[in-house]
């Protein structure tokens, strides 16, 4: 079984400041890792994912996350946030050979003008 911990339920940050949303996981098997974003009153959308290869993965809108196997982490970062980044962000893990994504409880990012 897998589990995901998102340490911060809410993160306020000023516009153009950097942000890090933390995600730690536990699993007894190898994993795939995902970050999904949910804008108000919408479904979730994939932001980025790590399956294999380079441990640093990037999204098209400037976010990046680094898979750290030794620390079992997959933190999400952006060097300069915009108002439009205000949303809830979910980290998720998929164990190898499984079909079931396990989601964290989410982190609400609020960007302050």
Q: Give me the residues that bind other proteins (CB under 8 A), please.
A: 4, 9, 32, 41-46, 49, 51, 90, 94, 97-101, 103-106
Give the whole-angstrom CA distance, residue 30 versus residue 12. Answer: 33
Strand-pair partners of 77: 20, 64
Give the whole-angstrom CA distance, residue 85 versus residue 95. Answer: 29
Those residues with Cβ within 8 angstroms of residue 81's Cβ, 6 or more apart along the chain or in another chain = 13, 15, 16, 17, 18, 19, 109, 111
Those residues with Cβ within 8 angstroms of residue 90's Cβ, 6 or more apart along the chain or in another chain = 6, 35, 36, 37, 38, 44, 103, 104, 106, 107
């Amino acid at each position: 079984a897998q589990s995901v911990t998102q340490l911060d339920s809410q993160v306020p940050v000023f516009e153009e400041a950097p942000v890090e949303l933390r995600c730690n996981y536990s699993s007894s098997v190898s994993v795939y890792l995902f970050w999904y974003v949910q804008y108000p009153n919408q479904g979730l959308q994939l932001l980025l994912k790590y399956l294999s290869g380079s441990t640093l993965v990037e999204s098209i809108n400037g976010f990046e996350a680094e898979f750290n196997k030794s620390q079992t982490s997959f933190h999400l970062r952006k060097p300069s946030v915009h108002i439009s980044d205000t949303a809830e962000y979910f980290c998720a893990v998929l164990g190898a050979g499984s079909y079931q994504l396990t989601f964290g409880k989410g982190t609400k990012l609020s960007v302050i003008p």
